[in-house]
Amino acid sequence: MACTTILVGKKASYNGSTIISRNDDGRFEVKKTIVVERNKAPRKYKSVLSKVEIDLPDFSYRYTAHPNVYTKDRGLWSACGINEYNVGMNATETITSNPLVNGGDPLVEYEKASKGKKEKAGGIGEEDLVTLVLPYIKTAREGVIRLAELIEKYGTYERNGLAFNDENEIWWFESIGGHHYVARRVPDDRMVIMPNQFGLDNFDFDDAFGAQKEHMCSKDLKEFIKENNLDLNLGNKFNPRLVFGSRTDQDHIYNTPRAWFLLKYFAPKSYKYEGCNADFTPLSDDIPWSFVPEHKVTIQEIKYVLGSYYQGTKYNPYGKDAEHGKYRSIGVPNTDVCGIEEIRKGLPAVEWASFGGGAFTCCFPTYTNVSKMPKFIGDYGMTISTDSMYWMSRLIAAITDAHFAKAVIFTERYQTAVFNKSYQVLKEYDAKYLANPSEKVLEEANEKIVKMVKEESEKTLESVMNIASNSMKTRYNREDN
């Protein structure tokens, strides 16, 4: 699945929290927010897509997730969440590779039964990963270790990057072929941008095979690289993206322009982005995986860029320039959920979410260490309904897109109003929780936030619907109001 990931270290964030975030760009899958209680995870897991069966530990920690509402044909795809130990996970960013890697360690794909041939299970993939990892870890580092063990044992049928965070650190994991991986700790003062390409652009093997302070990888990765003639580096520096990733025409339409826009937003003065002497352009294959932003990063900025569509450039699909719509936007209509896991030091963890629509939907927080979520975000079905946050968001986004020039002002006000009121509630209930650390306080806060979001969504839907109704071709103005 196509997605965009942003990671923010604790010294680069506005409040000292670690932040991992991702657009889950899918197939217009209906998503909801749920809580899976401690020891309620299954003891045996079977993937719907790959049919692989995995025995799970006889314990599990409470965690939140954003699964598909309809799971029969596609599985859970839990997307992201935070567990009771305040460890966040966001999975996964589909990444690229190349024929040398794919030939050296093929993906483990499901094979149907045929004449004289038994069914063969595939490996694990995005459908499975949150369910298999998040309920069983107490730190971000443990997330890397558990996932590595699963990848090495069962293999994977796809190429994925994913993030873990706790209050102290963020780790980024990238799979290589069917059974290999590299992982790196995100420096505290940096942020990371990931647009569906293999991301890591430097790696320290001495650390990975030594103290593992900031780097981890498969035990046989050096041998794998040598045996398959993968090392394309000149000199002593090792660039994993050059070795394991891709540099294709499709990347230059689909991936690198997104990295260019994100770097341009968060580091506008650090580099030159246009003209013949530009440091980076939308076609650059060497845009940094991580960098120091020019100011501390907020949640609202993350939501803005994850819903962005090249605003202020000639590539804006709503513009009239000859190159409008040339590149794949970051905010797309098939963003099923945008999840932002914010692990705050000394305060309850918060998960921000935006459903179904990317550019024109609101983003709001919920406290995660609770036993239930409000019905408006966690209990609905496949039928379109204004009693569902997912469907409400889809409706607002679709109408705004069709009437962009007149309707966008209402969704901009909507997003701002929800952020403003969300922070008011968080401030109020952070104080209440510190005075009385109870689950009920957090659940009360979630109900208050979601009630506000529903009210703001209803007002916005009415506004954009009026714009659409007054723009219909049969509208006539001869005193027929």
The CATH number of whichever domain residue 240 belongs to comes to: 3.60.60.10
369 part of a folded domain? no
In a domain, 185, yes or no: yes
Structure tokens belonging to residue 435: 């005075």
Residue for token digits 């059974």?
179
Do 147 and 244 reside in the same domain of the chain? Answer: yes
CA–CA dist 51, 124 (Å, integer): 9
pLDDT at 181: 98
Beta-strand runs (E) in 186-280: 191-194, 215-217
- Please indicate, yes or no, if residue 77 is contained in any of the structural domains: yes
Whether 283 and 322 map to the same domain: the answer is yes
In a domain, 479, yes or no: no
Final residue before a domain boundary, out of 331, 360, 389: 360
* Number of structural domains found in the chain: 2
- Supply the pLDDT for residue 456: 98
Catalytic residue among 3, 80, 217, 363: 3
User: Is the residue at 403 inside a domain?
Assistant: yes
Q: Is residue 123 part of a domain?
A: yes
Enumerate residue ranges in the chain where pLDDT < 50.
none
- Is the domain of 291 the same as that of 437? no
> Considering only CA atoms, which of 39, 75, 88 is closest in space to residue 60?
39
Cα distance between residue 371 and residue 72, in whole Å: 25
Whether 276 sits among the annotated catalytic residues: the reply is no
- pLDDT, tens digit, for every residue of 375-410? 999 999 999 999 999 999 999 999 999 999 999 999
* 365 in any annotated domain: no
Is the CB of residue 396 less than 8 Å from the CB of residue 357?
yes
The per-residue pLDDT for 481 is 58
In this structure, the answer to whether residues 69 and 30 fall within a common structural domain is yes
**Judgement on whether residues 83 and 190 belong to the same structural domain of the protein:** yes
Residues 109 and 178 in one domain: yes
Does this model's pTM top 0.85?
yes
Residues 181, 65 share a domain: yes
In this structure, are 285 and 411 located in the same domain? no
Are residue 78 and residue 156 in the same domain, yes or no?
yes
Question: How many angstroms separate the CA atoms of 130 and 151, rounded?
Answer: 13
Q: Are 185 and 303 contained in the same domain?
A: yes
Among residues 360, 393, 410, which one ends one of the domains?
360
Q: What is the pLDDT of residues 39-82, one digit of tens each?
A: 999 899 999 999 999 999 999 999 999 999 999 999 999 999 99
Residue 332: inside a domain: yes
Is residue 98 classed exposed, middle or buried when 0-12, 13-18 and 19+ CB atoms within 10 A define those classes? middle
Residue 120 sits in the same domain as residue 189: yes
The answer for 131, left when phi > 0, alpha when psi is -120 to 50, beta otherwise, is: alpha
Q: Read off the tokens for 136.
A: 């069983």
Q: How many CB atoms lie within 10 A of CB 27?
A: 10
- Rounded Cα gap, residues 206 and 211, in angstroms: 8
Q: Domain range holding 252? A: 3-360
* Domain shared by 355 and 382, yes or no: no
Give the domain-ending residue among 301, 336, 360. Answer: 360
Q: Which residue has the tokens 């981890």?
A: 216
Q: Residue 162 corresponds to which tokens in the numbers above?
A: 């994913």
Name 340's bridge partners.
21, 352
